[in-house]
Every structure is written in C-alpha cells, then in structure tokens.
Chains A and B, each alone.
Chain A
C-alpha cells in the first residue's frame, strides 16, 4: 500500500507562487477578491508563506510553500463530530463536503492552519466559470475545504494504469502544484517505495517537517536551505 508524501526543497523555491495558481485552477478554489483578502477569508489549499528574518541591510527572506501536511496522526480527523474528515488507507487526509456541518473544530485543531472555511457561497469570475475542473466538485457555503494532494488525479491515474494493464508508475500521479513548479522544488511520490525519489529525499540530512515535535507525523517534508 502506498503512502503518498511530498518533499519541498526550500533551496529551490524562489517564491513565484506558481504552485498556488496551479492549485487554484486545478481545484476550483473560489476567488474571494479584495474584500475576502481584507477580512482574512481567502481560501488557499497551497500557500507560499513568507518569513522575513533580520533587519535591513541584513535581511533574509524565506519562502515556505505550505499545503495540507497529510499527517499520519492528523489532529483534525479525531475531533470531527461527523467523520467528515478522515485519513484513507494510503495516508491522504480527505474532506467530505456533503457531510461537513461546518463547526470548524478541525480547522481549530490543525496546528498548521491549512483548513479553509467557506464563509460565503463560492464565486468565480465569469470568464473562468467554463474552465472549472470537472473532476473536482465545487464546495457549498458553510463547509471546510483543504488540499487533497489532488486526489482526483490519483483516481484518474489508477484508472489509466488499469486500462493499460500495468502497475501505477511514479510519474502517473503528480499533484498540480508539483507539475507547475518551474524550479522543480516540489517532489511527490510514495514515501514507502524505495524506487520513488521522495523516499530517497526524506533520508537527506536537510529534511525536516513542520512542527515535528507535536507528533502529528506530517507527510510533507522540507529540505532546509544550505547556507
């Protein structure tokens, strides 16, 4: 059984946010506009967090792309009163939109603040409506949503592999953010399969995970900058 995970090389990330844009387009993430931005109500499944260290002229900026960590011990799934968020057998933490009652307990329980709530009915610019991804359901108002590691791509890849009567290959299942990254900073694959690049990368001494000390066992790894 696969255990899907991601490795993000911070040395390669230049903060271009292509991953964010690709994620928005792929996952039909509603466009909140300036009003939502002002109210801290924008929705992003993948967000490039900027950390500024030091003071001028010794300023160092760090970019940390932050998707859902897909923890092996997710604090969000435990607290959901209706089981609307759960971890599947391949380690992907999913969100069941039709079941979610919108109590936002999972959002509060998540130490990484990667869960977004639909404060309003999602809206899209008219021009982009025909381009909504038919593989991903749009969400109603009042429910939580978050990164799914582009789970629909896994389903499609698996169908394809089955049709061609061959096993699933590493290159078959790639989330949108990974595909879009111009510097190749993001790698995706099965953490338990030694043939996959991620399995090798996480043994790199530069590898770390966010808030590792909490014991949530995230499956998103980072490679620290070499400096």
Chain B
C-alpha cells in the first residue's frame, strides 16, 4: 500500500490536508525548477560580488545603502505575518484562525532567514562577520538587531514547531515517508488528554512571549535609521511606524499565500470566503493605521520646514522619487482602502488584489525611506543618485524565488493547515463558543443581589 492509498480511507480533514505530502503534481515540479533556476542565478551574482566586492552594485557615496537594506527591512516586515498575527488571534480566541495559523507561522520562520541574510550580503567584508560576536559593541543598534532577530527566529521556530507536534505524531502513526523525519520530529508524542493540556499551556505561554519579541524586532530595525541624525530618518515615530508597516505587509503576504495554497491544493473548503473577509478587515484597519502614521510623519517634516528635511521631503513628493512615492500611496492607501471598505469587494479576489498592491507598496515604502535620505546628506552633494545594478536585482529576485521555493517545499513535508486544531474546532469549539457567549449575557438579577 503506498502513501496515497493510506490516505484514501481517512476522514476528510486528514485526507485533504495530508494529500500534498504524498502527491506531487507536475505543476509543482515546473515551478520548483523555475524557482531553483532563479535562485541559482542569484547565487552566481553573489559569487561574483564576493569575488569583486561591492563595486559590482550600484551603491556609491552617499548612497551607501540600497536594495539589500531595503529587502532586509521588507522581508523582516513580512515575517510579522505569522507569529504576531497567529499569536494575537490565538490569544483573542478568534475561532476563525484555526485554518490559517500554520501557513502564517511558516511564512514567519522561513522569511526571517531570508531577511536576516540581507545585511550580510550588504557587508563589504562578509569574511569578518564573526567580528560582530568577537568585538561586539553593545551600543550599536545593529547589535541590538542581531539579538532581537536571533531571538525572534528562535521564538517563532519554537512557536511553529510545538503546535505542529500532534500533527507530526499523526503522520508518524500513518507511516508516511520519510518515516525517520516524522519519527524524529514527533518526539514520541502521544495524544492523551494530559499531553494535550501540556501542549495548550506551552502554546499559550509562547503566544504571549512571542508578541513583545516580534514588536521589538521591527522597532529595532526602525532605530537603525531613527537613531542617526539624518533628515527624515531621525524620527520618534519610526519604531511604531515600522511595526505597523510590518504587520500590514505581513497580513498582505499571508493573504497571497492563502490564495495560492487554496488554488493549488484545492483548499476552498478550508480557506473560505469568511477567512478572506476577516483578513480583509484586518488589512483595512492596518491600511488606515499606516496612512495615519505616514501622514503624521510627512506633515511633521513639511510643517517644520527645516532645510535639510525639506530637501528629502520634496525629492519624494515632487522630485526624482515622486513616482515611487505616489505609487506607494496608491498601493498602500487608495487601492486597499477602496477595495476593503466594502463587503462586496472583500471576497477572495478583492483581498488578493489589494494584498498584491500592499506588498508592492510596502516594498516601495522601504525604498522611499532608505534611498531619498541617503542621497540627501545634510551637506548636499551634487549629482548624488542610486540605481541598483544587475547583481543587486538578481540577488533580490533570487531572495524572492528562494523564499517561495522553500515555502513550497515546506508544504510538501508538513501539513500547511493544522489538523488537530481543525479537529478541536469541530469537536469542542462550537460548544465552547456558545458557552462563552452565554457567559456574556446578563445573569439572573436576584441571584447576583443575594
């Protein structure tokens, strides 16, 4: 009996959700090949950069930072999709979370690695990377970043793994290949009421612990910029502004992942319209918050009228970066707000289109933060400009394709929707929720007064 036949007799949840683990379509192989090719292409570009140095990039004086730092901020932002959103939904007992938490947590863990590697790509001397540990200077915000991102990666990996253990045990017991992998990862778990209780307690603890870590990560990234004296970087609002942007782009990336998973693995019954609707509402809230922060930030720079600030401000609003800036405004404000404020357009396609715009817009936001300030130092330099080279663009393409590739591969080894949480939802939540609602209703007045 092969693995596919083993699934045939199982109940719907297990059958549908475990199918991707045992059956691989041709379409998957085509995409995997294409993405591998792009990833390898970026690998070649990086090899050349290693050999010849950062001279192969478009960076210069004073545009010291470019694509790599933009991507660093962008990808770490995307990573806020999973852990933070899933933790908040778990803590707030949002029952609709059950089918989406796992896919969100996978985004987090995988994208952090791709984000964290970006500053290393940006180093002039990657061979001296360990100096950060050997000669670490605790006063540098970059070092704080190393710590908070390291902690976040650790925390979110545990937060992905622990809630997956019961599913891994199920897969182990079904004997799906590679057996050694599931045997190892399931660490001898057996589903008893006692072990469930322990599991719930650990998850509850992790969900609470992981939120401040997630917030610290993007706050510290914001501080890399905000703690310098550069115009339009040196801003107290940057910490929360970056966190909001991170959650915003994270939700958008999660919606895109849900749309794709739903289509390729036929998961319409699990990623339902109501999920997209609810995620769309979150997107709407974040869109408004993002717009509010952006407005506050730009108003302050403009109204203050400081010469150095204005040079950067006008270069974004009407100058050489105006196209990127206004496209960002359209992508992060006009389109998502327009589509998400109406129930009719908050369906699968509406939220997907809005999310695609948000992901694009948030990349542009990182661009319009990093580059315009870079090329407008306080003591103006004539002819300062930045345009990425093919090496930088190849590495960027390779980062995107590499992330999608490992995500695809992950869905082939691990159920992308939590089996036991869906099952628990079916068995217990319906009852729990009606009890919860009943507890909100007024008590018998005489019983209370006596």
A residues contacting B by CB (< 8 A) are 39-42, 49, 66, 75, 78-84, 99-105, 107-109, 111-113, 116-121, 140-144, 210-211, 214, 216
What bracket does the count of chain B residues touching chain A fall in?
A: 35 or more
Contacts of A140 in B (CB 8 A): 125
CB of B59 within 8 Å of the partner chain:
yes
A108 vs B126: C-alpha distance when bound (angstroms): 19
Residue-by-residue, is B122-142 near A (CB-CB < 8 Å gives 1, otherwise 0)?
111110110110111101111
B135 touches A78 (CB 8 A): no
Checking A40, A101, A111, A143 against B61 with a beta-carbon cut-off of 8 angstroms, the contacting residue is A40
The interface residues of chain B lying within 8 Å CB-to-CB of A120 are 52-53, 55
* Bound CA–CA A101/B64 (angstroms): 14
A108-B64, A118-B124 known; A75+B142 contact, CB < 8 A: no
Whether B142 and A81, one on each chain, are in contact in the complex, defined by CB atoms closer than 8 angstroms, is: yes
Known: A99-B131, A103-B142, A107-B64. Is A143-B379 also a contact (CB below 8 A)? Answer: no
Bound CA span A21–B52, Å: 28
Query: Which residue numbers of B lie inside 8 Å of A, CB to CB?
Result: 52-55, 59-65, 119, 122-126, 128-129, 131-132, 134-137, 139-143, 146, 224, 227-230, 374, 377-379, 381, 383-385
Report the separation of the CA atoms of residues A90 and B139 in the bound assembly, to the nearest whole angstrom: 21
Asked if B140 and A105 sit within 8 Å, CB to CB, the answer is yes
Contact of A119 among B59, B62, B135, B146 (CB under 8 A): B59
Which B residues are in CB contact (< 8 Å) with A105? 140, 142, 224
The answer to whether B124 and A143 have CB atoms under 8 Å apart is: yes
Residues of chain B with a CB closer than 8 A to A42's CB:
61
In the complex, chain B residues whose CB is within 8 Å of the CB of A116: 61
Are the CB atoms of A82 and B124 closer together than 8 Å? no
Chain B nearest CB, measured from A29 CB (Å): 14
B68 to nearest A CB, angstroms? 10
Q: A109-B228, A109-B229 are in contact. Are A142 and B123 (CB under 8 A)?
A: yes
B122, A103: Cβ atoms closer than 8 Å: yes
Residue contact A83 to B378, C-beta cutoff 8 Å: no
Determine whether the beta carbon of B379 is less than 8 Å from that of A210.
yes
Q: How far is the CA of A117 from the CA of B139 in the complex (A)?
A: 22
A103 to B124 alpha-carbon distance, docked (Å): 6
Complex-state Cα separation, A82 to B230, whole angstroms = 21
Determine whether the beta carbon of A101 is less than 8 Å from that of B125. Answer: yes
